[in-house]
Amino acid sequence: MSGAGDDHDLHESLRTNVRDLCARFSDTYWRELEVDRAYPEAFVTTLTEAGYLASLIPEEYGGSGLGITEAAIILEEINRSGANSAACHAQMYIMGTLLRHGSDEQKARYLPAIASGRLRLQAFGVTEPTTGSDTTQLKTEAIRTGDRYVVNGQKVFISRAEHSDLLLLLVRTTPIDKVQKRSDGLSVLLVDMREAIGHGITIRPIRTMMNHATTELFIENLVVPVENLIGQEGKGFRYLLDGLNAERILIAAECVGDGRWFIERCRRYATERVVFGRPIGQNQGVQFPIATAHIKIEAANLMRDRAAELFDQGRPCGAEANMAKYLAAEASWEAANVAVQTFGGYGFAEDYDIERKFRETRLYQVAPVSTNLILSYVAEHVLGLPRSY
Ligand X SMILES: Cc1cc2nc3c(=O)[nH]c(=O)nc-3n(C[C@H](O)[C@H](O)[C@H](O)COP(=O)(O)OP(=O)(O)OC[C@H]3O[C@@H](n4cnc5c(N)ncnc54)[C@H](O)[C@@H]3O)c2cc1C
The footprint of ligand X (CB under 6 A) covers 124-127, 132-133, 157-159, 208, 212, 214, 363, 366-370, 372-373, 376, 389
Cβ–Cβ < 8 Å for 245, 312: no
- Chain-centre distance of CA 311, in angstroms? 17
Measured CA to CA, the distance from residue 299 to residue 170 in angstroms comes to 35
In the complex with ligand X, the residue whose CB is nearer, 299 or 373, is: 373
Nearer to ligand X, 106 or 140 (CB): 140
Please name the residue ranges forming H helices in 274-317.
Answer: 284-312
Smallest distance, ligand X to C-beta of residue 208, A: 5
CB nearer ligand X, residue 192 or residue 216: 216
Residue 114 CB, shortest distance to ligand X, in Å, is 17
Name the CA radius of gyration of the chain, rounded. Answer: 21
148: exposed, middle or buried (C-beta count within 10 Å: 0-12, 13-18, 19+)?
middle
Q: How many CB atoms lie within 10 A of CB 28?
A: 10
Residue from 325, 322, 246, 302 nearest 68 by CA? 246
Do the Cβ atoms of 322 and 310 come closer than 8 Å?
no
| Distance, CA of 199 to CA of 8 (rounded, Å) | 49
What's the burial of 118, exposed, middle or buried (CB within 10 Å: 0-12/13-18/19+)?
A: exposed
Position closest to ligand X via CB = 132
Question: Closer CB to ligand X, residue 313 or residue 372?
Answer: 372
- Of 132 and 316, the one with the shorter C-beta distance to ligand X is 132
CA dist 359 and 354 (Å) reads 9
Q: In angstroms, give the least distance from the CB of 225 to ligand X.
A: 23
Nearest residue (CB) to ligand X, 17 versus 202: 202
At closest approach, how far in Å is the CB of 169 from ligand X?
9
Cis, peptide link before residue 368, omega less than 30° from 0: yes
Judged by beta carbon, residue 36 or residue 147, the one nearer ligand X is 36
**Shortest Å, Cβ 209 to ligand X:** 9
Contacts of 282 (CB under 8 A, 6+ apart): none
For the chain, count helices (H), then strands (E). Answer: 12, 10
Minimum Å gap between C-beta 140 and ligand X is 11
Q: Closest CB to ligand X among 81 and 127?
A: 127
Q: Measured from the CB of residue 349, what is the shortest distance to ligand X in angstroms?
A: 24
Q: In angstroms, give the least distance from the CB of 132 to ligand X.
A: 2
